[in-house]
Amino acid sequence: MGKPLIMVSSITYAMKGKSVLAQMGIRSDIVRTPSDSRNSSCGYSLFVPKKTDEAQKILEENGINVVGRAEKGSAP
């Protein structure tokens, strides 16, 4: 199973998003977006292992520009 990623439009949004999610008790990490998914992303995403749908809604409600979702494959 891969890692659920929420793609954002800038590294600034990634940092703000991580902070907003932490305040809501949701763990996230800033990671590089897989190169095949970078169409409109800055190249950074938030990895949110749990409550990904809820996290995306919180980000959008707080003005974080979400450009899509991706999944980063896990190594065998």
- pLDDT greater at residue 75 or residue 1: 1
**Mean pLDDT, to the nearest integer, of 7-12?**
92
The model's confidence at residue 76, banded by pLDDT at 50, 70 and 90, is very low
- Average the pLDDT over 27-35 and give the result: 89
Tell me the average pLDDT across 17-31. 97
d(Cα 74, Cα 47) in Å, to the nearest integer?
Answer: 13
pLDDT tens-digit readout, 34-61: 776 556 556 899 999 999 999 999 999 9
Judged against a pLDDT cut of 80, whether residue 62 lies above it is answered with yes
DSSP state of 24: T
Which tokens belong to 6?
A: 């929420």
Q: At the top level of CATH, which class does the domain 3-72 belong to?
A: alpha beta
**Are the C-beta atoms of 2 and 71 separated by less than 8 Å?**
yes
